Structure 1
Amino acid sequence: MPTFITGACGFVGLALTEQLLRAGEAVVGFDRAPLPAAAARAFAALPGRLAMVQGDVREAAALEAAMRAHRPHRLVTLAAVTADARRERTTPGSIFEVNLGGVVAALAAAAATGVQRVLHVSSGSVYGASGIDAQALHEDSTPLRPEGLYGISKQAAEAAALRLAALHGLDLVVGRLGTCFGPWEADTGVRDTLSAPLQVLLRAERGEAARLPRDSRRDWLYVRDAAAGLQALLDRPQLPRPVYNVAAGFMGCMSDWCAAVAAAHPGWSWQISEDPVDIDYYAPYDRAPMDIAQLRADTGFVPRYDLRAAAEDFFAWRRRHGGAPTEAAHA
């Protein structure tokens, strides 16, 4: 029986789909956009089986129809709009329609069709301002203080998912993702700010110097590790905790990433510059790391990629695929 993934053509959705297909599993991808051509070629060579359904997560009837047709035993809710301030100002309702409404609709469909296991994918953005002063961010003790509508909508979706799971008797776990980068990341129309590592790499590939506002330290999560962490949560039913951080487990410096990029792109340059700058770090502060002790203890998950290993893998991936898919709009 397959795993049903909403937002399957988004950044993390593609990475998780690839992870499951490589393990020989069956996946049903649900997304408003078609599968990118590069992903279709790559996934066709994997041992698992993929079926794609085009649909909008805001339409409960479409979700239920797709689940009745494919009879998945597991659901992963990944469809999301990662909004910047411009989108917050112009179309705030659309953020909640997808990030909250899409989760509510997916869980209702899961309850109606007998889905056994649900992994709701949330975000470290729910910690918000708590990340300014903390030593580490813990699932069960750090206050949730989201600052933007993305984080606010993700916090609301977490609470709604847990409540609906209790009402319907669903086996649900929440995975809060750290800040991801790596294969399949692209400007899709609903990912308003690309990760800083990709912003830097794109400038190097174009031969453009990069000016960073500071030498940021963050627990950058390579998306292959993100997918492996999500799979670890998905594969272990009846976990002892309702919420887990899925993060890198270490802090990395952007200067180290820039050095790796520079080594792969001779002649490229970067610098720290207060003004003007080319790289957007999301916030004017470096967020505290997300603690993954509970994820390690309850699933055995161990991240594989530090920044050096991630750079080697990511650069090779981009050479093979000629960059990343650019098809827009995933919901």
Structure 2
Amino acid sequence: MILVTGGLGMIGAATARALVDLGHEVIVTSHRQSDVPSFLAGRVTVENLDVTDRDAFLALGKQYGITEIVHLAGSIPGDDPVDYFRHDLAGLLNALDAARAWGVRRFAVASSLGNYIGRPEIPWHEELALPEVDVPLAIIAFKKAVEPITVHSLQGTVIEPVLLRIGSIWGPLMDPESPIITIAPYVSAILRGETPEARYADDGGDFCYAADAGRAIALLTTAESLQHRVYNVSSGTRSTNRQIAEALEAITPNLHLDLIPGRQSGPGEDPYLDISRLTAETGFTPAYDIPKAVADYVAWRIANPR
């Protein structure tokens, strides 16, 4: 039985779905979110859990025979970075405590492509040394700390740590007005009948559809054996605003989206993640290119608020 914390969030729900599709029993935890998406309803066990409550976390092991943990629960930083770090660090340490107490086989935890910020090489791959730079967001700072904390906490045990450097994931259940991954608000404006603000055609980045990210995490969690600790999780390609606009125009009658030629910052290339290690060890390849992902997401949004 596999535990997915944060399992009703965008990435967690996609991971749980992929695990169930692979034939595994799955428990998902959630604290503030109670709505179970239609694609998980009746397929997983849902437990309400505040991951900062150590006793409640450890009590799950008395109810279920948990063999792997995928720790994806996390909060959004507010005005006080110390409160954010305290909350998410407590959740991480409790998850690690549980992994050790239960003797699980594998502990997979969310890290971030933001760890590579400062490296000029493109694409970013796992062998790159992580630079010592000022990171722009508290959440990236925390994800950078997650990796050594996890590895050191599991030393001396037989538990395999799997550090998931997750790319820019988007799809069902994401914030429809996300200021970070702006595909969703772009679609939201179109669904409201508005004309979204023109974007630079060649700007883009590492956009991976949630269903693909979830399947990649599921494969890493359940693989018979792994050769490494760190894995990039994403599409392995760079996508652009032009591709997204063309995909939206293809499925929306009479829609024309204005684009500004070139890139906002001038000539160059946006970074993205190399997933050759993930593919070599699990056989993963993305199922969703931009046209397929856009069509799926628009259909979801028409039927669901987020």
Query: What's the CA shift for 1:107?
Result: 0.7
TM-score, length basis structure 1:
0.82
Spell out, residue by residue over 1:46-97, the C-alpha distance to the aligned partner (whole angstroms, 9 max, x if none).
xxx41111121112211111232222101001012344xxx2xx12123213
Give the aligned partner of residue 207 of structure 1.
Answer: 193
TM-score, length basis structure 2:
0.88
In 2: Cα distance, 1:156 partner to 1:221 partner: 23
Query: Which structure has more helix as a fraction of its residues?
Result: 1
Q: Please show how residues 169-318 of structure 1 align to structure 2 within 5 Å.
A: 169-186=158-175, 193=179, 195-215=181-201, 216-272=203-259, 287-318=270-301
RMSD (Å), alpha carbons: 2.4
Instruction: Find out whether 1:35 has 2:34 as its counterpart.
Output: yes
Give the aligned partner of residue 99 of structure 1.
Answer: 88
- The higher-RCO structure (CA 8 Å, 6+ apart) is 1
The 3-state SS of whatever aligns with 2:165 is strand
Give the aligned partner of residue 124 of structure 2.
Answer: 137
Match of 1:114 among 91, 103, 123: 103
Q: Which moved more, 1:200-209 or 1:143-152?
A: 143-152
Are 2:248 and 2:295, in contact at CA under 8 Å, matched by a contact in 1? no
Structure 1 residues 286, 33: CA separation in 2 closer, same or farther (over 3 Å shift)? farther
Letter in 2 for 1:201: V
In 2: Cα distance, 1:14 partner to 1:194 partner: 20
Spell out, residue by residue over 1:135-193, the C-alpha distance to the aligned partner (whole angstroms, 9 max, x if none).
21111214244332111100111110111111433112111111011122236xxx963
List alignment gaps of at least 5 residues for structure 1. Answer: 275-280, 325-331
Query: What's the CA shift for 1:195?
Result: 2.0
Letter in 1 for 2:40: F
Query: What's the CA shift for 1:270?
Result: 3.6
In 1: Cα distance, 2:269 partner to 2:129 partner: 16
In 2: Cα distance, 1:286 partner to 1:103 partner: 34
Query: What's the CA shift for 1:194?
Result: 5.0
In 2: Cα distance, 1:70 partner to 1:21 partner: 16
Query: What's the CA shift for 1:259?
Result: 2.1
Structure 1 residues 34, 323: CA separation in 2 closer, same or farther (over 3 Å shift)? closer
Give the aligned partner of residue 58 of structure 1.
Answer: 52
Give the aligned partner of residue 305 of structure 2.
Answer: 323
Give the aligned partner of residue 70 of structure 2.
Answer: 76
Q: Which moved more, 1:197-206 or 1:93-102?
A: 93-102
Poorly superposed stretches of 4+, deviation over 4 Å: none
List alignment gaps of at least 5 residues for structure 2. Answer: none
In 1: Cα distance, 2:178 partner to 2:193 partner: 23
Query: What's the CA shift for 1:316?
Result: 2.8
Identity of aligned residues (%): 25
Are 1:79 and 1:98, in contact at CA under 8 Å, matched by a contact in 2? no
Letter in 2 for 1:203: A
The 3-state SS of whatever aligns with 1:173 is strand
Aligned positions, number: 298
Give the aligned partner of residue 9 of structure 2.
Answer: 10
In 2: Cα distance, 1:184 partner to 1:121 partner: 18
Spell out, residue by residue over 1:185-207, the C-alpha distance to the aligned partner (whole angstroms, 9 max, x if none).
236xxx96352211211111111
In 2: Cα distance, 1:24 partner to 1:31 partner: 22
The 3-state SS of whatever aligns with 1:168 is coil
Are 2:81 and 2:138, in contact at CA under 8 Å, matched by a contact in 1? yes
Spell out, residue by residue over 1:20-46, the C-alpha distance to the aligned partner (whole angstroms, 9 max, x if none).
223332111111124315x1x43236x
Structure 1 residues 192, 169: CA separation in 2 closer, same or farther (over 3 Å shift)? farther
